[in-house]
Amino acid sequence: MSIQLFAVIARKNITNDEIVHIPAGYYHLVAGEFQFNNEHPPLVKMWAALPLLFIQPKESVKTSNDPASDYRAVTWGFHQNFWADNKEQFVTITFWTRAMMIVLTCILGVVIFSFARDLFGRRVAVLAVALFVLEPTVLAHGRIVHTDLPALLVYLLFFFVLRRYLQARTTKRALLLGLVSGIALMTKFSMIVLLPVLMALAVVGVVFAGRLGDERKRIVLHAALVFLVDLGRVVLRFQQPGLQQNDGKGAGSLCGSG
């Protein structure tokens, strides 16, 4: 599957989403600002753009220093400038950012195998992975810089870690559950559906602690740890000022001083 995904990169142009996601991810990394393409959380875009820190594409200046400028005009102006300024590096930029997404797709396969093996055994796990690597939708989207496949990865990983925690309710596994939940929220906004699951489990655990053979205080402590780690990662990641909080001065380039 990996060979097929890499082979297709050279024969397929980038998608409409990637035109925006790739420059936005680079901007998120070097400027620490998240207003560009804020319809999607930054984590996946930043992951894909990591190789660009070594490639060092040309840094496009902001299209407007006016904090009241139209969001779409500023966003699309920036992305158009990015690709126009880096025509010579277009192939390199698209290859390496897509390569990072193939890594996530392979990790998803590992999670599918591990989860299926825990539930049904090794033979079923091998069959599940075989179906995964031959799935046309996965082969089409497993190389694209977008949030759909990564969302599937964190969604499945959440329930895999949750099951492990329910099997042995330790503090270490509670912290891991909070970490995975925070990563999920930073991957795709729709992953907020995981919060009601955590809340429902916390309520059930507190109410039926006696029947579960556990201490109510420990369940409350674990629930608090999960939500603190979960929400703490999101708050810390978004605490930097955005583009519309620069008092109209502008940085001039992605890295501020150029």
Could you give the CA distance from residue 52 to residue 29 in angstroms, rounded to a whole number?
10
Residue-wise over 144-155: b if at least 16 C-beta within 10 A, else e? Answer: bbbbebbbbbbb
9-47: per-residue pLDDT in tens? 888 888 988 999 999 999 888 887 777 788 888 899 999
Q: How many separate domains does the chain show?
A: 2
Could you give the CA distance from residue 215 to residue 219 in angstroms, rounded to a whole number?
7
Domain membership flag for residue 137: yes
pLDDT of residue 246: 36
Query: Do 35 and 137 fall into the same domain?
Result: yes
Domain membership flag for residue 226: yes
Answer positive or negative: Cα dihedral of 58, 63, 68, 73: negative
**At which residue do the structure tokens 């390199």 appear?**
92
Query: Do 47 and 105 fall into the same domain?
Result: yes
pLDDT of residue 216: 66
Query: Do 200 and 122 fall into the same domain?
Result: no
* Helix, strand, coil distribution of the chain in percent, nearest 5: 70, 0, 30
188-227: per-residue pLDDT in tens? 989 888 888 888 887 777 676 666 666 666 667 767 777 7
Structural domain ending residue among the three candidates 111, 145, 179: 145
Domain membership flag for residue 246: no
Residue 99 confidence (pLDDT) above 90: yes
| pLDDT higher at 252 or 87 | 87
Query: Do 139 and 162 fall into the same domain?
Result: no
Share of the chain above pLDDT 70, in %: 76
Query: Do 228 and 152 fall into the same domain?
Result: yes
Most confident of 9-13, 127-131, 241-245: 127-131
Could you give the CA distance from residue 114 to residue 19 in angstroms, rounded to a whole number?
34
Query: Do 101 and 37 fall into the same domain?
Result: yes
| pLDDT higher at 21 or 70 | 21
DSSP string, 2-37: HHHHHHHHTTSPPPHHHHHHHHHHHHHHHH----TT
pTM: 0.80
Report how far apart, in Å, the C-alpha atoms of 162 and of each of 86, 114, 169, 183, 184 are.
Answer: 44, 14, 10, 14, 13
What residues contact residue 219 under an 8 Å CB cut-off, 6+ apart?
169, 202, 205, 206, 209
For residue 34, what is the DSSP state?
A: -
Domain membership flag for residue 29: yes
Query: Do 28 and 125 fall into the same domain?
Result: yes
Q: Dihedral angle at the C-alpha atoms of 185, 135, 121, 114, nearest 10 degrees?
A: -30
Q: What are phi and psi of 147, to 5 degrees?
A: -100, 0
Query: Do 170 and 216 fall into the same domain?
Result: yes
For residue 245, give both structure tokens.
Answer: 């909080």
Could you give the CA distance from residue 10 to residue 39 in angstroms, rounded to a whole number?
28
For residue 15, what is the DSSP state?
A: P
If DSSP codes are grouped into helix, strand and coil, which group holds residue 54?
helix
Query: Do 137 and 153 fall into the same domain?
Result: no
Average pLDDT taken over every residue of the chain? 81
Query: Do 34 and 7 fall into the same domain?
Result: yes
Full residue range of the structural domain in which residue 159 is found: 147-239
Query: Do 54 and 105 fall into the same domain?
Result: yes
